[in-house]
Amino acid sequence: MPLKRTAVPGGPPAPPAYVPPVTPPSAPPPAGWRARWRARRAAGARHAALGRGVVVEVAKGAQLELGDGCSVGDGSRLLVRAGTVRIGPGAILGERCTLAAHAGIEIGAGAVLGDEAVVLDFDHRYDDPDVPVRLQGIVTAPVVIGADARIGARAAIQGGVTIGEGAQVAGQSVVTRDVAPGARVGGVPAQPALSRPARSGTPGGSRSRRDR
């Protein structure tokens, strides 16, 4: 939402109340910048391209692995609370994507995530109706997105999901179940559509509908 300016009688308009800083990836982070890049926990970081304003948080004991030639778009967030996040060679994350891991997230080689896609490997518990959800803890399960998969803009991938090689997820979908290699899904929750052929030797490449 655009920032409003307040006119001051007899003078120019007041500046916006807050202008977020923009830091090119080639520049060192200024003091107080939100990104906490810890090189000893980020393998292969030299070979990745990070856009402006990317936030990287890697907790103690966690690991971030960036493959050769992968890229992370402007304003994206890589939040590794526990486990390992792997972004494979040549994988592309669009602008303002979010990866948040408590168990593990793997993005295969050449996979593409559209702008504002979200991948979470956890969810909040809600077993006890007498306890606020925010106080019930979380459940975690790793997420795998296969090589050459395509995740549309603003799609959400939930914990425990495996998306097969070459699969396609339509924009703004919510994926709650596994997606077969070469399959196409879309909707909330995501439902199967016609599949495209998978790579040679990869199961799941038929063009039949897959019931869930």
> DSSP characters for 36-59?
B--GGGEETGGG-EE-TT-EEEE-
Mean pLDDT, the chain, whole residue set: 78
SS3 (DSSP) at 133: helix
The residue among 62, 58, 75, 71 whose CA lies nearest residue 23 is 75
Task: For residue 72, count other CB atoms closer than 10 A to its CB.
Answer: 25
Tens digit of each residue's pLDDT (9 = 90 or more) over 131-155 = 887 787 878 899 999 999 999 999 9
**Residue 194 pLDDT:** 59
Rounded Cα gap, residues 81 and 198, in angstroms: 34
**Residue 133 pLDDT:** 79
Tens digit of each residue's pLDDT (9 = 90 or more) over 95-132 = 999 999 999 999 999 999 999 999 999 888 777 888 88
Beta bridge partners of 124: 138
Whether this model's pTM surpasses 0.85? no
Confidence band, pLDDT 50/70/90 cuts, at residue 210: very low
The residue among 106, 107, 104, 65 whose CA lies nearest residue 83 is 104
Confidence band, pLDDT 50/70/90 cuts, at residue 199: low
Confidence band, pLDDT 50/70/90 cuts, at residue 83: very high
Q: Please give the distance of CA 167 from its chain centroid, rounded to a whole number.
A: 16
Asked if pLDDT for residue 62 goes beyond 90, the answer is yes
**Which residues have a Cβ under 8 Å from the Cβ of 137 and sit 6 or more positions away?**
124, 125
**Residue 179 pLDDT:** 96
What's the CA angle centered on 70, arms 66 and 72, to 5 degrees? 90
**Residue 196 pLDDT:** 58
Rg (CA), the chain: 20
Least confident of 8-12, 49-53, 77-81: 8-12
Amino acid at the residue 68: D
> Which position has the higher pLDDT, 186 or 7?
186
Domains of the chain: 39-192 (2.160.10.10)
Rounded Cα gap, residues 142 and 152, in angstroms: 20
- Total count of residues recorded for the chain: 212
**Residue 200 pLDDT:** 64
Rounded Cα gap, residues 189 and 174, in angstroms: 5
**Residue 104 pLDDT:** 96
Asked if pLDDT for residue 8 goes beyond 50, the answer is no
Asked if pLDDT for residue 171 goes beyond 50, the answer is yes
